[in-house]
A and B are shown apart, each in its own frame.
Chain A
Amino acid sequence: MVKTQHNASHMVEYGEPVGIIAAQSVGEPGTQMILRSFHLAGIESTISTSGLPRIIELVDAKKKPSTPVTYIYLESRINKSFEKSEELLKKINEVRMSGIAKRVLENFSKGMIKVVLDRQELEVEGLTAKQIASKINKELDLDADVKEGNIIISTHTKNLKEIRAASIKIMKMLVSGIDGAGRGTIRRDEKTGEFYLVSGGSNIDGIMGIDGVDKKRTTTNDIFAIYRLFGIEGARNALVFELKKTLKEQKISVDERHLDLIADAMTSMGTIKGVGRHGLSGEKKSVFARAAYEETMKHLIHAAAFGEIDSMRGVTENILVGKQMPIGTGSVKLAIKKEDLAKIKPKQ
């Protein structure tokens, strides 16, 4: 498929076991990665999973990354100014009531909850007590009032359980920002001088809805979020990008074509499939290939019960039975044309 761009001599030979070569090329440096794990202390505000654990996460097609990170790029009218970027960050930063409350006092005899607010936190987030009180009124359907800078909520009940439930609800309430977006920091791109945001959350859908966010460039390390929003090709490219980035962080150089092939194989069915038992290896057509990998008895019994047929076209199953495997010269078979057969005369 690549022949129009590349010289024919650069192309892979027919029968080359590209998958095996890719697996070995990634696997060998992978063994070094366990021993060498280093961190840049202090610089990163969100320490994301790196090294071998991250590679495993990617090739196993985990639904959620263990440390989601969203890179939020801003529109050109905002991204040159630090103040404007900061303003936008405040819209995204997830602030919950528990983060801005100093103390919560529950008065069970009067059925009141008093929330003592942390003035400094309020100032940092750019919020006022009034805004919060009206938010409680609207979202939780409670009567909230501001008294001396603190919030007094009357629950209209003297039931201990209900008051406690209400106070828990209040503490969990989202005061500002986007649900699940986490807290972000502002970074500056050294090359272009533009500001962008890095947030430790994964709610890219919500972030995309904010005015001023560059929807074309904002990205995340959550492959499945990319898949949902932009489809399989976007997910494939995100997967390659993440694999390359993780290997580069560890100063390991693997030819990118191996990573391309892995990503292509994982996305070839239209959805993202891991490489393991529940993915590519577990869904091979050949019974023997599956049985040779994991859960041998399960596959053999299933094959026996349902009369599965193994066409013996793959590598694994042919090694298993001791036949020549169909790679390299082994992938060529000799045949004779019917009309030529007639020409052959038996020896006298």
Chain B
Amino acid sequence: MPSTDHILVPEHELMSDKEIKELLKDLDIVPENLPKILESDPQAVKLGAKPGNIIKIERRDGKISYPYYRIVIEG
């Protein structure tokens, strides 16, 4: 498998159930409101994510970084 590491790709991390619960409460949303990521996405495959999982992405924007969340969907 080719390397999926690249300067364009921020860090991806699988979230635990507890973290997901806190996140959804904090943002006051249902998981379906989140942006999506396909199950077949190279980064999702690398983490072994299944549909329904939420991936936390540590986006870098210059010097600051902020979290972004994507829910894994089939495809």
Contacts and interface: CB of A to CB of B under 8 A. Distances in A.
A226 B8 contact: yes
Contact of A234 (B6, B36, B44): B6
A233 B9 contact: yes
A264 B35 contact: yes
A233 B5 contact: no
Given A5-B66, A270-B75, A231 B36 contact: no
Interface string A207-219: 0110000011101
Contact of B42 (A230, A241, A268): A230
A208 B2 contact: yes
B66 A271 contact: no
A129 to B, nearest CB: 35
A229 interface: yes
A4 B8 contact: no
Contacts of A4: 66
A268 B68 contact: no
Interface string B49-60: 000000001010
A179 to B, nearest CB: 17
Of listed A216, A226, A260, residue having the most chain B CB within 10 A: A216
A341 interface: no
B48 interface: no
Given A1-B67, A2-B66, A208-B2, A233 B73 contact: no
Interface of B: 2-10, 12, 27, 35-38, 41-44, 57, 59, 61, 64-68, 70, 73, 75
Given A4-B66, A270-B35, 4 more contacts: A5-B64, A217-B6, A229-B4, A270-B70
